[in-house]
Amino acid sequence: MKIAILICALTIGIVPLVASPRAEAKGEVSLGEKLQLGSVRIRPLSVVEDSRCPIEVQCGGLNRIIVRTEIRGPASTKIRNFEIGQLREVEGAGGLMLAAVSPSPPADTTIAPAAYRFTYQVR
Q: How far apart are CA 13 and CA 21, in angstroms?
A: 25
Q: How far apart are CA 41 and CA 82, in angstroms?
A: 15
All domains in the chain, ordered by first residue:
21-122 (2.60.98.10)
- The sheet carrying 40-50 orders its strands as 35-37, 40-50, 65-72, 77-83
Q: What is the pLDDT of residues 86-113, one digit of tens each?
A: 999 988 768 999 999 999 888 788 899 9
pTM: 0.76
Q: What is the pLDDT of residues 1-60, one digit of tens each?
A: 444 443 443 444 443 333 334 457 999 999 999 999 988 999 999 999 998 888 777 777
Gyration radius of the chain's alpha carbons: 20
